[in-house]
């Protein structure tokens, strides 16, 4: 079908998967991106140039071996492609859906043409793997007798747990919520990631022998010291859950909520679970979302689906350039205008706005008072903002959602165990160190990974950190490890120490 490898990108254009029409998709909570037919996916994979120096591979935090799986998909060798993908990524169906795909930004083809559709190919490989029954439990061949506790079941905790269990350790994941998955489950809306994908992986992990203890908060319900005493290693993957607040006049008014008070409630409703007191809803309300990023965009899309009268998403920073930004040339992650699927669905966006206060009546918010900003961007210096005189305004609002980022993890466990924190108050544990010292906190039996260690980030980084921490823990417990690490140069550590 594809005789001349070099001609793929000259023969076929980039094709995106179809999306449901906006008026249809905002009426439900399901994923709305369709599939590409098998032949089309093979053409898309054929566009890959199999570069001698594949920058896509370097752009992917997991080091996904992208040219190889593209080549296999081109040749219709899907099961082998899945094997290649799983060799660096435990959960490609998660990243295939929610990753911002830095690999595509650094694809060599992107210098002159639209990048290879790496993310869609990854997602299609994973989905086909599940459909065909190629993804099955992989329990360890022998038990080591070592015990590991993982605290927190987000993508980082799940990756640590799966890797360490497959290495033969007894692994228990402790999660304070009533369901595992962290932000994959309670946070990221169902229309971006249906929860059946998370459930399916948890089922696989349980069949491999990972135990899950749900509804128990470590440091509160169970002392962290108990886990340290009863296990050979403890890995903290508790996320970065302390939300940034906006302490301006009127913050005490009702109707102003943190994004993570709002979004998980909708996940619960979709799952058919109870939301006490009916919860927060945007139905029939004028909504203002303060803050951009994934969290702000998710509040925007959720509010539209709940039936908001209006949704306005507001950012402090200026509107980035539409397409090319000379400040972030290829192969860097381009700082350009990002229009998420939620932004496409309706509402409006505003940039360069400083929120000065909230206004209200009878204790409830009725508006947001703000002013337009002028930004100076001195070369090499920090951006400077100035209020533009005479541009003050009040936007009417019945619901204000704060999506201003997350400052650091909660400190209950680190205080109890006396763990050192870094300058941003994340759990201090070295990145880039090799062997057992990587990701090890100031306590010799405790490691940390994911957002709790690196600060708020991405699912792909959380999985990367989980895999790397697992490598380090296994090495510490056994003196050698067969678990891969891209920080320790691939599989070099796989050889047992003499
Ligand atoms: C709304 C939202 C949307 C996002 N969308 C995207 C996206 O589209 N793409 C993307 O790549 N990234 C996205 N992100 C970021 C991404 O979700 C995170 O970077 C990632 O989930 C971090 O994984 P983690 O395992 O480190 O922590 P988390 O996913 O935060 O998981 C931490 C878990 O630890 C549990 N926990 C905390 N303390 C304790 C304790 N003491 N005892 C027991 N359990 C505890 C928590 O309940 C939680 O389940 C989004 C983030 C948010 C908030
Ligand atoms: S950089 Fe792009 S074209 Fe080159 S190997 Fe990677 S996906 Fe293929």
Q: Within a domain: residue 141?
A: no
| CATH number, domain with residue 488 | 3.50.50.60
Residue whose CA lies nearest to ligand 2 atom number 1 = 107
Residue to substitute in 48, 85, 118, 125 for testing ligand 2 pocket (most ligand atoms within 8 angstroms of CB)? 48
Place of tokens 């369709």: 34
Q: 274: CA distance to ligand 2 center in Å?
A: 46
Q: Within a domain: residue 139?
A: no
| CATH number, domain with residue 22 | 1.10.1060.10
For residues 250 and 391, state if they share a domain. Answer: yes
The whole-number pLDDT of residue 325 equals 83
Among the bound ligands, the one closest to the CA of 116 = 2
Atom in ligand 2 nearest the alpha carbon of residue 106 = 1
- Asked which of 404, 422, 452 is the last residue of a domain, the reply is 404
For residues 266 and 376, state if they share a domain. Answer: yes
- Residues spanned by the domain of 36: 5-131
For residues 219 and 190, state if they share a domain. Answer: yes
Q: What tens digit of pLDDT does each residue of 412-468 get?
A: 999 999 999 999 999 999 987 778 889 999 999 999 999 999 999 999 999 999 999
- Asked which of 404, 434, 460 is the last residue of a domain, the reply is 404
Q: What tens digit of pLDDT does each residue of 171-221 get?
A: 999 999 999 999 999 999 999 999 999 999 999 999 999 999 999 999 999
The whole-number pLDDT of residue 491 equals 38
Q: Within a domain: residue 451?
A: yes
Give the containing element (helix H, strand E) for 50: none
3-class SS of residue 103: helix
3-class SS of residue 292: coil
For residues 112 and 234, state if they share a domain. Answer: no
Q: Within a domain: residue 136?
A: no
Q: Within a domain: residue 156?
A: yes
State if residue 258 touches ligand 1 by the CB under 6 angstroms criterion.
Answer: no
∠ CA 71-75-79, nearest 5°, is: 85
Instruction: Please tell me the chain's helix, strand, coil percentages from 3-state DSSP, rounded to the nearest 5.
Output: 35, 15, 50
Q: Within a domain: residue 388?
A: yes
The whole-number pLDDT of residue 335 equals 86
Q: Cβ distance 352 to 338 under 8 Å?
A: no
State if residue 462 touches ligand 1 by the CB under 6 angstroms criterion.
Answer: yes
**pLDDT (tens place) for every residue of the chain, 498 residues total:** 776 667 899 999 999 999 999 999 999 999 999 999 999 999 999 999 999 999 999 899 999 999 999 999 999 999 999 999 999 999 999 999 999 999 999 999 999 999 999 999 999 999 999 999 999 999 999 999 999 999 999 999 999 999 999 999 999 999 999 999 999 999 999 999 999 999 999 999 999 999 999 999 999 999 999 999 999 999 999 999 999 999 999 999 999 999 999 999 999 999 999 998 889 999 999 999 999 899 999 999 999 999 999 999 999 999 998 887 888 888 888 888 999 999 999 999 999 999 999 999 999 999 999 999 999 988 878 889 999 999 999 999 999 999 999 999 999 999 999 999 999 999 999 987 778 889 999 999 999 999 999 999 999 999 999 999 999 999 999 999 999 998 765 433 333 332
The whole-number pLDDT of residue 492 equals 35
The whole-number pLDDT of residue 278 equals 83
Residue 470 to residue 283: CA distance in whole angstroms: 44
For residues 220 and 291, state if they share a domain. Answer: no
For residues 481 and 353, state if they share a domain. Answer: no
Residue 298 to residue 293: CA distance in whole angstroms: 9
For residues 200 and 302, state if they share a domain. Answer: no
Both ends of the chain: CA-CA distance in Å? Answer: 49
- Asked which of 385, 404, 423 is the last residue of a domain, the reply is 404
For residues 183 and 211, state if they share a domain. Answer: yes
For residues 474 and 419, state if they share a domain. Answer: yes
For residues 311 and 413, state if they share a domain. Answer: no
For residues 259 and 346, state if they share a domain. Answer: yes
Q: 467: CA distance to ligand 1 center in Å?
A: 16
For residues 120 and 151, state if they share a domain. Answer: no
Q: Within a domain: residue 231?
A: yes
Does residue 161 have a cis peptide bond before it, meaning omega lies within 30 degrees of 0? no
User: What tokens appear for 430 in the block?
Assistant: 């070295």
Q: Within a domain: residue 94?
A: yes
Question: What is the count of structural domains for the chain?
Answer: 3
């Amino acid at each position: 079908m594809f005789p001349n490898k070099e001609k793929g990108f000259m023969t076929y254009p980039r094709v995106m998967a179809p999306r449901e029409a906006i008026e249809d998709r905002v009426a439900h909570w399901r994923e709305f991106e369709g599939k590409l037919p098998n032949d089309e996916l093979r053409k898309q994979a054929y566009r890959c140039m199999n570069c001698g120096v594949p920058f896509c591979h370097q752009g992917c935090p997991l080091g996904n071996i992208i040219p190889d799986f593209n080549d296999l998909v081109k040749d219709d060798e899907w099961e082998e492609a899945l094997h290649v993908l799983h060799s660096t990524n435990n959960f490609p169906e998660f990243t295939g859906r929610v990753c911002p795909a830095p690999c595509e930004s650094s694809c060599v083809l992107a210098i002159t043409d639209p990048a290879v559709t790496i993310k869609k190919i990854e997602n299609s490989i994973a989905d086909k793997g599940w459909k065909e029954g190629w993804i099955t439990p992989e329990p360890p061949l022998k038990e080591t007798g070592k015990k590991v506790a993982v605290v927190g079941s987000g993508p980082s905790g799940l990756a640590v747990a799966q890797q360490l269990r497959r290495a033969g350790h007894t692994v228990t994941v402790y999660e304070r919520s009533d369901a595992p998955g962290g932000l994959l489950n309670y946070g990221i809306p169902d229309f971006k990631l249906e929860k059946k994908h998370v459930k399916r992986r948890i089922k696989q992990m349980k069949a491999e022998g990972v135990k899950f203890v749900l509804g128990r908060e470590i440091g509160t319900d169970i002392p962290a010291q108990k886990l340290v005493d009863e296990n050979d290693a403890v890995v903290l993957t508790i996320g970065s859950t302390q939300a940034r607040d906006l302490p301006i006049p009127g913050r005490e008014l009702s109707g102003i909520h943190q994004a993570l008070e709002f979004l998980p409630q909708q996940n619960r409703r979709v799952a058919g679970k109870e939301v006490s007191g009916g919860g927060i809803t945007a139905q029939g309300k004028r909504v203002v979302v303060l803050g951009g990023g994934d969290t702000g965009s998710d509040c925007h899309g959720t509010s539209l689906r709940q039936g908001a009268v209006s949704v306005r998403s507001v950012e402090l920073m200026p509107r980035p350039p539409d397409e090319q930004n000379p400040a972030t040339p290829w192969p860097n992650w381009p700082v350009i205008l990002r229009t998420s699927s939620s932004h496409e669905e309706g509402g409006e966006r505003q940039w360069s706005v400083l929120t000065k206060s909230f206004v209200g009546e009878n204790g409830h918010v009725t508006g947001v008072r703000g002013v337009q900003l002028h930004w100076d961007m001195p070369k090499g210096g920090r951006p400077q903002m100035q209020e533009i005189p005479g541009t003050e305004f009040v936007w009417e609002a019945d619901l204000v959602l704060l999506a201003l980022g997350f400052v650091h993890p909660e400190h209950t466990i680190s205080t109890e165990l006396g763990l050192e924190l870094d300058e941003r108050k994340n759990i201090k544990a070295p990145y880039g160190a090799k062997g057992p010292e990587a990701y090890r906190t100031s306590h010799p039996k405790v490691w940390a990974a994911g957002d709790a260690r690196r600060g708020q980030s991405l699912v792909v980084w959380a999985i990367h950190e989980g895999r790397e921490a697992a490598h380090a823990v296994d090495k510490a417990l056994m003196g050698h490890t067969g678990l891969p690490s891209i920080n320790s140069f691939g599989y070099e550590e796989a050889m047992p120490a003499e």
